[in-house]
Chain A
Amino acid sequence: MLSSIRLRCSASYGLRSYHLTNMRAFDELRKLEIFFMEETRRGCSVIELYELVQHAGNILPRLYLLCTAGSVYIKTKEAPAKEILKDLVEMCRGIQHPLRGLFLRSYLAQISRDKLPDIGSEYEGDADTVTDAVEFVLLNFTEMNKLWVRMQHQGPARDKERREKERGELRDLVGKNLHVLSQLEGVDLDMYRDTVLPRVLEQIVNCRDEIAQYYLIDCIIQVFPDEYHLQTLDVLLGACPQLQPSVDIMTVLSRLMERLSNYAALNAEVLPYFLQVEAFSKLNNAIGKVIEAQEDMPILSAVTLYSSLLKFTLHVHPDRLDYADQVLGSCVKQLSGKGKINDTRATREIVSLLSAPLEKYNDVVIALKLTNYPLVVEYLDNETKRIMATVIIRSIMKNNTLITTAEKVEALLELIKGLINDLDEPQGLEVDEDDFEEEQNSVARLVHMLYNDDTEEMFKIISILKKHFLTGGPKRLKFTIPPLVVSTLKLIRRLPVEGDNPFGKEASVTATKIFQFLNQIIEALPNVPSPDLAFRLYLQCAEAANKCDEEPIAYEFFTQAYILYEEEISDSKAQVTALQLIIGTLQRMHVFGVENRDTLTHKATGYSAKLLKKPDQCRAVYACSHLFWLEDHETIQDGDRVLLCLKRALKIANSAQQMGSNGQGSAGSVTLFIEILNKYLYFYEKGIPQITVESVESLIQLIKNEESMPSDPYAESLFASTLQFMEFQKQKGGAIGDRYEEIKV
């Protein structure tokens, strides 16, 4: 029987597919074990059997048989399990051939797995046999690892790749031992800390093999409980700097931190332990040491490490912002002297590093407290800085974070400098126009998130914004100035009305001051090719000034707007729109004295008359009529001038009609007439004496005449609805109804 097994054994080992044959051999050996077991039941002494198998002259079959017999021996309990195991693991040293040794020892591990003298196991001996069980597994592990590592150095160098692949396939055989250790009941924290971990680490460090170190450290991290890791963090981390420089320690540590942070996240009650063991500072130190030890570690790895550490500390110590800052500080130290980062992956990693606190706290304000944060940003290239800035802004937007103090704003702006400024070095490639617009829009949106109820503080914020925005270059101003102005205007509205200050306190932020400030901002705009914008903003400011009763300022704004209109706005369509705006704004101004107002209105009507196209002229002129009649202000109710305007409008419409009849038809001019009629009605309704019933009636008549000509449906419907309106007003009765009664159609 023995010899037949031996034959089979030795035959199968010659085959190439070692793995497969081994599986088959294991099967055979299992049968053999059963056979042995039966033999012993039949009265064959197991001790003799144990000796007998050792008579085999060839070592490999001998040891397989020995392990099998040993397994039976333990089962019979005729000798303490620990003795037999110790003997087996020692005897297995005879196989120094890596592959064969690995499989033999893996077989040994397999048969011994359920026979370890663990606590609670039926093979547990009298005293402290767990130690023996651990010792056995450790020894087997050590030997297996040695064999595994040795594979690397045997055979020709050109087969290196293939060998590494083979080793990769075999690694689980080695790792299984660690798994067995982790399953032992007897391996409690003390045992783990005092025996298991130091021994395993010693082996890992001493084997000086990249593949083994990487795999096994990872194995330790994965198979043992988090609690153990936490308590032995310094030991585990202490080993890291001693590993080979080529070991991908970053992945390993990242996984460790990931595990620990998950652990902390799932079990809130363990958090005190984290503090107790100073997990953070240990990790931080370890990473520092690792990076120090591995001089030519790529920047990517370092950054990844810091990124994981940061995520860890954010999870575990969300309240300890100083930790996060410390991480960033170390990161800065690491990055310093390396210049800008060119590695795209490293850059991406930094972005994720920087995004982590934002994601965690959902509050950029906290990130702003991290003093090292901007320093890290410094090391990014311009492109990435922009991306980072966008990320920050998006976070602010998403969480509706209000940023309330000037310092924070300053810090924030420093962070997103990439968006606000052209950065120092000119970039070779142009930023995509759409992207640029998108980015700048987001900056614009950001402006509105910077808010403080206190006006003084708010003014400070705005001043800071201005300072930064003005340096942003012409392309950006177009986007950044409007929100700034709007925000400023909002501030103005909130200012206490002057003289209404009950405490008699000298307000440091006065409307005047702000208006001056506004003026400065907007002045920047015409320099860039967006006079339209500046123009509008001036008008807005003027209106605001109006509200604050700041006549000279309002006047000044208007002047600026007019100058812009004259000098910069040349497109006729734009002129029309601009003029409408002027008129609209001016109409609402009540702050001006007669003289100023006259000047401005005069100017406005003048502009209207100078428009290029007749219909435009007409419309502008009749719009001007509103400038002379403000319902609530007695001072500005000049019926003559209103009438004058309307008459002029009619005249222009007339000439437009004539030109039209010469040309393509007069449909447009009828519309004009109807529109003028509407104006007439409006003023008539207001009761301006100069607008007489007759004039209205004659206008209606005129339109009716024109109507007989072929006209466009728009004009028709407009007229119809005008008439309808009149009818409606009539029926409403009252004073207005009476007035309408007078009009006879």
Chain B
Amino acid sequence: MNFLLGAFKPACNISITFTDGKNRKQVPIKKDNGQIVMNPLFQSQETIAGKIHIDPYQGKKVEHNGVKVELLGQIEMYFDRGNFYDFTSLVRELDVPGEIYERKTYPFEFSSVEMPYETYNGVNVRLRYVLKVTVTRGYAGSIVEYQDFVVRNYVPPPPINNSIKMEVGIEDCLHIEFEYNKSKYHLKDVILGKIYFLLVRIKIKNMDLEIRRRESTGAGANTHVETETLAKFELMDGAPVRGESIPVRVFLTPYDLTPTHTNINNKFSVKYYLNLVLVDEEDRRYFKQQEITLYRLKEETS
């Protein structure tokens, strides 16, 4: 549990526990300071319930103007750090103004919470869900305690999932046809496909398949796009000749991927691309990028 340590010793210790905290799946989340912590995992429409303990220090009494717990869904832009945009905000009043002398426990429950977006930690943007407990005090400043939790939403397999098939080339130089078996992959999926060489006039050294994430934040003129390469997978070594067909089989499991997010609350989008890169002997790169949609499939085991 979190402890708030500061110069000023807070008057009380607040801890939050979830009802099924022992059994609930924990997933690692990277915090701002690089630390990885385990947070409980929820999904949309779940009831988030638990208990909040307020434990005053050594017989100190805590005067307050009320205790409340909020469930917040926040988007934080890194260029605008500290300024949270709350897209979800639910409040439960736990106590009327009064004094707490000894450990006091408040049960809480947000039932069937609509949490449409997934937790996301990007380069320029972060989407998080948090429980915020506030002990409101008039003069001494409120005591606030946060508890992060993770939301992941599972979707059923898409009904239409066409393969990606395309012929590209540079005239009289290189013509290839590539095919990926689907356009939509779940996160533990395997990309299967093949690359067919129709014409090869350049001396190719190798061929890689990159998985790239494109995160765009902001809107209009302020749109900021950040692209990172999450995976670089070598498909071919050496120079093929005309008529060769190179198999593609890439397991997505080892990579840290998220589902595709489109226009989350008008704040940001995350898209994924497969980038086929051919490198010739003079290290020139020829590439073709294709968007794929990633989705989170309900795992059997969880």
CB < 8 Å neighbour of A58 from B234, B239, B246, B254 = B234
* 6 A-B contacts (beta carbon < 8 Å): A58-B234, A60-B237, A93-B246, A93-B247, A96-B239, A96-B244
A: residues with CB less than 8 A from B are 51, 54-55, 57-60, 62, 90-91, 93-98, 100-101, 146, 150, 154
Chain B residues whose CB sits within 8 angstroms of the CB of A94 once the complex forms: 234-237, 246-247
Is residue B290 within 8 Å, beta carbon to beta carbon, of the partner chain?
A: no
Cβ contact within 8 Å between A96 and B238: yes
**By the criterion CB–CB under 8 Å, are A57 and B234 in contact?**
yes
The answer to whether A59 and B232 touch (CB under 8 A), given A93-B245, A94-B246, is: no
Contact B249 A54 (CB under 8 A): yes
Determine whether the beta carbon of A98 is less than 8 Å from that of B238: yes
Q: Which residues of B contact A100 (CB under 8 A)?
A: 237-238
The answer, yes or no, to whether B57 is at the interface (CB within 8 Å) is: no
Enumerate chain A residues within 8 angstroms of B236, measured Cβ to Cβ: 59, 94-96
Contacts of B249 in A (CB 8 A): 54, 91
Q: Which of B232, B238, B247, B254 contacts A55 (CB 8 A)?
A: B254
Besides the contacts A57-B231, A100-B238, what 10 more A-B pairs have beta carbons closer than 8 Å? A51-B251, A59-B234, A59-B235, A94-B234, A94-B235, A96-B236, A96-B237, A97-B237, A100-B237, A101-B237
**Complex: how many Å from CA A57 to CA B207?**
12
Q: Taking the nearest CB of chain B, how far is it from the CB of A61, in angstroms?
A: 10
- B232-267 vs A: 1/0 string, CB under 8 Å? 111111111100111101010110000000000000
Chain B, residue nearest A62 (CB): B234
The listed residue with most B CB atoms (<10 A of its CB), out of A97, A100, A101, is A97
CA distance A393 to B246 in the complex (A): 68
State in angstroms the CA–CA spacing of A499 and B138 once bound together: 172
Q: Which residue of A lies closest to B204 (CB)?
A: A96
CB proximity of A519 to chain B, nearest CB, Å: 85
Query: Which one of A51, A59, A146, A154 lies within 8 Å of B237 (CB-CB)?
Result: A59
Q: Is the CB of A91 within 8 A of B239?
A: no
Which residue on A lies nearest to B205, using beta carbons? A97
Q: Does the CB pair A90–B234 fall under 8 Å?
A: no
Q: What is the CA–CA distance of A60 and B237 in the complex, to the nearest angstrom?
A: 7
Give the residues in chain A near B244, CB-CB below 8 Å.
93, 96
| Complex Cα–Cα for A100 and B241 (A) | 16
Taken together as a complex, chains A and B put the C-alpha atoms of A58 and B206 apart, in Å, by 11
Known: A55-B253, A57-B232, A57-B233. A90 touches B247 (CB 8 A): yes
Given contacts A55-B254, A57-B232, contact A91 B241 (CB under 8 A): no
* Cα distance, A90 to B193, chains bound together (Å): 12
Chain A: minimal CB distance from B197 (Å): 9
CB nearest to A96 among chain B residues: B238
Contacts of A101 in B (CB 8 A): 237-238
Give the Cβ gap from B297 to chain A, nearest Cβ, in Å. 17
* Minimum CB–CB distance for A152 against chain B, Å: 12
- In the docked arrangement, what's the CA distance between A57 and B237, Å? 12
Are A96 and B246 in contact, with the CB atoms below 8 A? yes
| A397-B237 Cα distance, complex, nearest whole Å | 70
> Which chain B residue shows the least CB distance to A66?
B249
Distance of A59 Cα from B248 Cα, bound (Å): 11
Question: Of A59, A90, A97, A100, which is in contact with the most chain B CB atoms at under 10 Å from its CB?
Answer: A59
User: Which residues does chain A contribute within 8 Å of B239, judged by CB atoms?
Assistant: 96-97, 154
Write the chain B residue with the least CB distance to A101: B238
> Within 8 Å CB of A150, what residues of B?
241
- The minimal Cβ–Cβ distance linking A49 to chain B, given in whole angstroms, is 13
